[in-house]
Structure 1
Amino acid sequence: MAWENQTFNFDFILLGIFNHSSTHIFLFSLVLGIFTFAIMGNTVMILFIYLDNQLHTPMYFLLSQLSLMDLMLICTTVPKMAFNYLSGRKCISLAGCGTQIFLYVSLLGAECFLLAVMAYDRYVAIYHPLRYSILMNQKICHLMVLSSWIVGSLDGIIVVAVALSFPYCGAREIPHFFCDVPALLTLSCTNTLLFERLMFICCVIMLLFPVTVIIASYLQVIVAVIQMGSGEGRQRAFATCSSHLMVVGMYYGAAMFIYMRPVSDHSPTQDKMVSAFYTILTPMLNPLIYSLRNKEVARGLMKVLGRGSLQSKLPN
């Protein structure tokens, strides 16, 4: 039986993504640089939106929540990966693996629905500007964000509970730099086909449903923007919406590639590269994209930085 052949050492081995060659040392240093930039960029974005009273609007509140999710997402994977690489220890406990699965699945699910809420917010702002304060008031906005967190957390609880209920045997070597569910399932001693099908259904709900909302919202937005009489208003609307669409394209494309294919079709090398993209690179790019494409954010950041530099030059 599977349980008879199973080892009861409840530690897994994360094979990681880097070795100690000169090329991989450079790539590891690059990842640490990206991690540092992502931490600083998202933290600054959250604090800036919180401290600037002019940005206390639904759009910027949603943007601050996106930065918070990105901040938590990159902290879920990179610190453990860096610790294992620098210490030479590749093990992760069952509890540590479960914590990683819960956090990144919850954050991925929450961010999927948050991006849909952000698309709906832009649709209401551009297509129904006179009713915006009613359709996207503070209470409704907070309720939508809270729902995103709750749905993501429920998804995380279900996935981690089922994934860790399987018996795992053999060397317990996970061909990844964190406990990703598709990589973990390849180590199971039992047939996981039913769970894979259930996970596919969850992905349809968590990915395709928000994508449908985003597409429907932006089709309406495009029509409204084209009909705008003001060239400046049209340019501003396109700048805001194009920033959001860039983030959506990167995020959903990578997530669908990983989670909407059978486990048997997964390549460890491809999975690690794509996972690194949406768990490491995307959290760094989001604040950069929004700050560069949004004039209000860029202008406000320059004002804050300029004020800080002036204060530092003043005598004590």
Structure 2
Amino acid sequence: MYFFLSMAVTGRYILTVMAYDRYVAVCNPLRYAAIMTKKVCILLVVAAWFFGFVTLLPALSLAVPLAFCGPNRVQHVFCDHSSVVRLACGNTTVNTVVALSAAMIVLIGTLCLILTSYISIGKAVHGMGRAEKIKAFATCASHMIVVCISYVSATCVYISYRVATFSPDARMIVAVLYSVLTPLLNPIIYSLRNKELWEALTRALCKHAAKPTSNRKTIPSVS
């Protein structure tokens, strides 16, 4: 549970770092190489992994000593923290508050930083020409798609635990979208701007669409 959720949280922090990278690329293109140096990139990635593995420690450390003496079936596709804590026999109010606080820090905190970056990008793009706007949109499109899928599905999962009438089956479907589909789509979405990929797809489609031509022999005319 710890490693699964920590890597999920790390993914949110990495999306935040990527939003900052887009902000620098669009708003300060001439200074991009000077700002996003190799050292800065390594520090940002290390910070994302560090906070990803530290943020969940309080909630998970409180879940370890809980007593489980009742049902042992987790209503989820994996050992999610909220689903496991619900099976505990004792009072889990503190666990719920701490876990909800960590979730709000991860979801709302990172989302606010991402929105701040895109608001700044929107203000900078507003005064650009058509060609610059298209280039800026192409730079940010893949990241925005991943952010929307990731945060909408994660928010639905956490809200579903607070709604008594929410179907557990629907929650599990959303959880699959949140935990499996988003990482699966990431390589495809981020490859949309890869010219080599588009050229390979174009060649493959043209090859299948092209009809084989028959070899025609020229018959000499007889006078």
When normalised by structure 1's length, the TM-score is 0.59
Indicate the structure whose relative CO is greater, using CA pairs within 8 Å and at least 6 residues apart: 1
- Determine if the alignment matches structure 1 residue 239 to structure 2 residue 132: no
Corresponding residue for residue 188 of structure 2: 288
Q: Cα distance 1:260–1:297, how it changes in 2: closer, same or farther (>3 A)? A: farther
Aligned-residue sequence identity (percent) comes to 34
Q: Give the partner amino acid of 1:257.
A: C
Q: Give the partner amino acid of 2:122.
A: I
Corresponding residue for residue 122 of structure 2: 222
Find the aligned partners of 1:124 and 1:174 in 2 and give their Cα distance: 44
Corresponding residue for residue 200 of structure 2: 302
Within a 5 Å distance, the mapping from 1:262-281 to structure 2 comes to 262=161, 265=164, 267-281=167-181
Write out per-residue CA displacement over residues 188-247 of structure 1, whole angstroms, 9 at most, x where no aligned residue: 10121121111111112111111111111111112222322351x322220221211111
Q: Cα distance 1:264–1:163, how it changes in 2: closer, same or farther (>3 A)? A: farther
Deviation of residue 132 (structure 1)?
A: 1.4
For structure 2, the 5+ residue unaligned runs are 205-223
When normalised by structure 2's length, the TM-score is 0.82
Find the aligned partners of 1:272 and 1:262 in 2 and give their Cα distance: 11
2:69 corresponds to which of 159, 169, 173? 169
1:118 corresponds to which of 18, 22, 31? 18
Find the aligned partners of 1:230 and 1:159 in 2 and give their Cα distance: 48
Write out per-residue CA displacement over residues 5-57 of structure 1, whole angstroms, 9 at most, x where no aligned residue: xxxxxxxxxxxxxxxxxxxxxxxxxxxxxxxxxxxxxxxxxxxxxxxxxxxxx
Find the aligned partners of 1:260 and 1:145 in 2 and give their Cα distance: 29
Corresponding residue for residue 32 of structure 2: 132
Corresponding residue for residue 249 of structure 1: 148
Find the aligned partners of 1:116 and 1:256 in 2 and give their Cα distance: 16
Tell me if structure 1 keeps the 8 A contact 2:59–2:98.
Answer: no
Tell me if structure 2 keeps the 8 A contact 1:102–1:160.
Answer: yes
- Determine if the alignment matches structure 1 residue 146 to structure 2 residue 19: no
Within a 5 Å distance, the mapping from 1:49-198 to structure 2 comes to 101-198=1-98
Corresponding residue SS for 1:173: coil
Tell me if structure 2 keeps the 8 A contact 1:106–1:152.
Answer: yes
- The two structures, once aligned, show a CA RMSD in angstroms of 2.3
Write out per-residue CA displacement over residues 64-122 of structure 1, whole angstroms, 9 at most, x where no aligned residue: xxxxxxxxxxxxxxxxxxxxxxxxxxxxxxxxxxxxx1112101111111101101110
Corresponding residue for residue 158 of structure 2: 259
Find the aligned partners of 2:163 and 2:94 in 1 and give their Cα distance: 13
Tell me if structure 2 keeps the 8 A contact 1:196–1:263.
Answer: no
Q: Cα distance 1:220–1:166, how it changes in 2: closer, same or farther (>3 A)? A: same
Q: Cα distance 1:104–1:263, how it changes in 2: closer, same or farther (>3 A)? A: farther
Corresponding residue for residue 212 of structure 2: none
Deviation of residue 261 (structure 1)?
A: 5.8
How many residues end up aligned between the 2 structures?
202
Q: Give the partner amino acid of 1:234.
A: K
Corresponding residue SS for 2:191: helix
Q: Give the partner amino acid of 1:201.
A: S
Tell me if structure 2 keeps the 8 A contact 1:291–1:297.
Answer: no
Find the aligned partners of 2:156 and 2:66 in 1 and give their Cα distance: 24
Tell me if structure 1 keeps the 8 A contact 2:20–2:114.
Answer: yes
Find the aligned partners of 2:161 and 2:35 in 1 and give their Cα distance: 40
Find the aligned partners of 1:215 and 1:197 in 2 and give their Cα distance: 26
For structure 1, the 5+ residue unaligned runs are 1-100, 307-316
